[in-house]
Amino acid sequence: MSDADETTTNEAGLTADGAGGASVGAGRAGVWRGNPVAVITGASQGLGLALARGLAERGWSLVIDARTADKLAAADYELAKLTTVIALTGDVTDETHRADLAEAAAGLGGASLLVNNASALGGSPMPALADFPLPDLLTTFTVNVLAPVALAQVLLPQLREHGGEIVNISSDAAVEPYAGWGGYGASKAALDHASAILGLEEPKVRVWAVDPGDLRTQMHQDAFPGEDISDLPLPEEVVPGFLRLIDERRPSGRYQAGDLLPKAAASAAAADGEA
Ligand SMILES: NC(=O)c1ccc[n+]([C@@H]2O[C@H](COP(=O)([O-])OP(=O)(O)OC[C@H]3O[C@@H](n4cnc5c(N)ncnc54)[C@H](OP(=O)(O)O)[C@@H]3O)[C@@H](O)[C@H]2O)c1
């Protein structure tokens, strides 16, 4: 591990059944020793933490990161009650940090799942393209496109071995051109395209770009500073859609989490959104 990384390791040592994860690895082609391992970036809050909770409850071992040490430590503390967690403080744009994430996953038996969730908005409020400071635009693409591809590169040997999966978190802004969303939206469109090509190039690995839908998170609040976003669903509400994608090992492609939700959860999420 690099000196820059603050590392905490918790060995809860729960089996899949012990963690209540009856369907761990259901329908998966790969073989692994012990619990399956997921690497989730940006898992100290929001969707990343919700996905980490959902996977931990099913007995997945986790390697998680975020840049802010205290928030990551709080997530680590909570998740370690459910499963084995390695939490590495760092930035996905840092090559050494990415190598540390891959090394940590290898130490747990090898990654079966990579969730590229950490993301940059590009500014708050988000600037129009005409005024977008180019260093910020570069950072947006580095975090949202380059880092996910780079992390996939270092983890692909493990993912291939396990017949694993990559989830690249997308957005409707990748498809719909919203004024003010040029940097973020273009970067997510590029991530979608890279996901589609990786899916073609890697027959042993499923590669999914998943639009989670609008969620009540810090990033969404930053996108709409000062606005009331309390009507939006919490990230936990879309997690069952992601778990279904993983359980059913759907073909590589682009998905919307809302379309994968069981009907009841979908209507509850919709009702919550209307409240
Ligand atoms: N919220 C929505 O409505 C919505 C809609 C569509 C798509 N999405 C996508 O969903 C994903 C999660 O978003 P969210 O709303 O849950 O965001 P969030 O609540 O702001 O959480 C983002 C997480 O990523 C970490 N992070 C950010 N930059 C990082 C970096 N460079 N290196 C490592 N970790 C980093 C953050 O911690 P630190 O800041 O401490 O690093 C935090 O843990 C993103 O890909 C986003 O584009 C969200």
Q: What is the per-residue DSSP string for 76-111?
A: HHHHTTTS-EEEEE--TT-HHHHHHHHHHHHHTT-E
pLDDT tens profile 130-183? 999 999 999 999 999 999 999 999 999 999 999 999 999 999 999 999 999 999
pLDDT tens profile 3-13? 334 444 444 43
pLDDT at position 101 is: 98
Mean pLDDT of all residues belonging to the chain: 89
75 lines ligand 1 (CB under 6 A): no
* Structural domain containing residue 150: 7-274
Please give the distance, rounded to the nearest whole angstrom, from the Cα atom of residue 117 to the centre of ligand 1.
Answer: 6
CA distance 239 to 149: 23
With respect to residue 97, please indicate whether it lies within any of the assigned structural domains.
Answer: yes
48 lines ligand 1 (CB under 6 A): yes
pLDDT confidence bin for 266, thresholds 50/70/90: low
CA distance 140 to 151: 16
With respect to residue 24, please indicate whether it lies within any of the assigned structural domains.
Answer: yes
In a 3-state reduction of DSSP, which class is residue 117? coil
CA distance 56 to 61: 7
pLDDT confidence bin for 41, thresholds 50/70/90: very high
Best mutation site among 88, 97, 115, 215 for ligand 1, i.e. most ligand atoms within 8 A of its Cβ? 215
DSSP secondary structure letter of residue 146: I
CA distance 65 to 186: 25
pLDDT over 90 at 224, yes or no: yes
Q: Which position has the higher pLDDT, 265 or 173?
A: 173
In a 3-state reduction of DSSP, which class is residue 234? coil
From 152, 238, 241, select the one nearest 202 (Cα to Cα).
152
With respect to residue 1, please indicate whether it lies within any of the assigned structural domains.
Answer: no
Instruction: State how many domains the chain has.
Output: 1
Q: Exposure pattern of 8-36 as b/e (b: 16+ CB <10 Å)?
A: ebbebebebeebebeebbeebebebeebb
Average pLDDT of 121-131? Answer: 96
CB 55 within 8 A of CB 32: no
CATH code for the domain in which residue 255 is found: 3.40.50.720
With respect to residue 2, please indicate whether it lies within any of the assigned structural domains.
Answer: no
Active-site residues, by number, are 184
CA distance 102 to 262: 33
pLDDT at position 34 is: 75
Q: Exposure pattern of 163-186 as b/e (b: 16+ CB <10 Å)?
A: bbbbbbbbbebbeeeeebbbbbbb
In a 3-state reduction of DSSP, which class is residue 242? helix
Best mutation site among 100, 219, 227 for ligand 1, i.e. most ligand atoms within 8 A of its Cβ? 219
C-alpha angle 129/143/194, rounded to 5°?
90
CA distance 211 to 241: 11
State the DSSP H helix or E strand holding residue 195, giving kind and residue range, or none if neither: helix 182-201
Q: Which position has the higher pLDDT, 24 or 194?
A: 194
pLDDT over 90 at 27, yes or no: no
55 lines ligand 1 (CB under 6 A): no
124 lines ligand 1 (CB under 6 A): no
DSSP secondary structure letter of residue 19: T
